[in-house]
Amino acid sequence: MARGYREPGEKPRRFYKAVEVVVTEAGFAVRLDGRGLRTPGGGDMVLPTHALAEQVAEEWAGQGETLALAAMHATRLANTAIDAIPQARDATAQAIADYAASDLVCYFAVEPAGLLARQQAQWGPILDRAQAQAGMRFVRGAGIVHRPQPDETLARVKSLGLALDDFGLAGLAFGAALFGSAVLAIALHRRWLAGEDAFALSRLDELWQEDQWGIDAEAAERTTRLRGEAIMLDRWFQGLA
């Protein structure tokens, strides 16, 4: 068998022992056995803050005999920030605005009354804060019928994204996709919410169903994975501060 060959689906083996963060002229680099970690695009894994570099380094240090690359969420986010975002800043910010155009937390249930009350109590304050503190006024709808959002609000969301550096913009786009909500992603970035709380708000409908009918094992596994991504993103934003 050729050296380096892996069966399809086989995880790559760990090829290093020591992981460290070192200070360079460009920022904080992650090194494996003294050699610089590279992104899939060939870039240097250099982060803007020590906290962010430590977050990536911990993922590599925590691997076993094989590498669970799909579970290394901070590393994947760093790869995106380094390889993809610099050439796609406008498109990335527009994608966040597109989430805002049909934002999850703007669509309130028609029924049951208990779910609507929960949404009003938990989504309402976030929407109020988005308008008061970030200048974003969202139209609130009922049911699944699309309600257009004000052009000035969508422009504001895009401008907030473009004001961030590549690592912040990558995180905001990741959060908008994770939550189905630009509002919740912005709330997490601005520290209005913790990661687990933002994730819980994105799942109000699912939580209501679970309260009524119980939790499916497969769905619970997916929820645990996504909650872990929300916690990672919370730490990512804190590391950028």
User: Tokens 């109590």 identify what position?
Assistant: 121
The region, left, alpha or beta by phi > 0 then psi within -120 to 50, assigned to residue 180 is left
The arithmetic mean of pLDDT across residues 126-148, rounded, is: 94
- Strand stretches in 51-140, DSSP E: 107-108
100 & 65 share domain: no
Report yes or no: 168 and 77 within 8 Å, Cβ to Cβ.
no
Distance of CA 101 to the CA centre of its chain: 18
69 & 121 share domain: no
pLDDT of residue 11: 85
* Beta-bridge partner residues of 142: 108
| Structure confidence by residue, pLDDT tens digits, 44-55 | 999 999 999 999
Beta-carbon count within 10 A of 222 CB: 10
Tell me which of 40, 56, 83 is where a domain ends.
Answer: 83
pLDDT of residue 129: 98
Q: Give dist(CA 94, CA 116) in Å, integer.
A: 30
236 & 171 share domain: yes
| Structure confidence by residue, pLDDT tens digits, 151-182 | 999 999 999 999 999 999 999 999 999 999 99
The arithmetic mean of pLDDT across residues 14-34, rounded, is: 97
pLDDT of residue 7: 46
Band (9; pLDDT cuts 50, 70, 90): low
Band (3; pLDDT cuts 50, 70, 90): very low
Q: What is the CATH number of the domain that holds 207?
A: 1.10.3580.10
CA-wise closest residue to 230 among 182, 205, 206, 194: 194
76 & 164 share domain: no
pLDDT of residue 1: 28
What is the radius of gyration, based on Cα positions, of the chain? 20
46 & 61 share domain: yes
Band (37; pLDDT cuts 50, 70, 90): very high
pLDDT at 5 over 90: no
Question: What total of structural domains would you count in the chain?
Answer: 2
| Structure confidence by residue, pLDDT tens digits, 83-129 | 999 999 999 999 999 999 999 999 999 999 999 999 999 999 999 99
DSSP label of 44: B
Beta-carbon count within 10 A of 203 CB: 18
The region, left, alpha or beta by phi > 0 then psi within -120 to 50, assigned to residue 75 is alpha
Residue 157: CB partners within 8 Å, gap ≥ 6?
A: 96, 97, 100, 136, 182, 186
pLDDT at 193 over 60: yes
In the chain, the percentage of residues whose pLDDT exceeds 90 is 86
Question: Where in the sequence is the domain holding 58, given as residue range(s)?
Answer: 19-83
Q: What is the CATH number of the domain that holds 26?
A: 3.30.2180.10
66 & 165 share domain: no
pLDDT of residue 2: 33
Instruction: Tell me which of 130 and 2 has the higher pLDDT.
Output: 130
Does residue 157 sit within a domain?
yes
27 & 92 share domain: no
Mean pLDDT of the chain: 93
133 & 229 share domain: yes
Q: Give dist(CA 194, CA 177) in Å, integer.
A: 17
**pTM for this predicted structure:** 0.93
CA-wise closest residue to 232 among 30, 56, 40: 56
CA-wise closest residue to 182 among 124, 235, 229, 138: 138
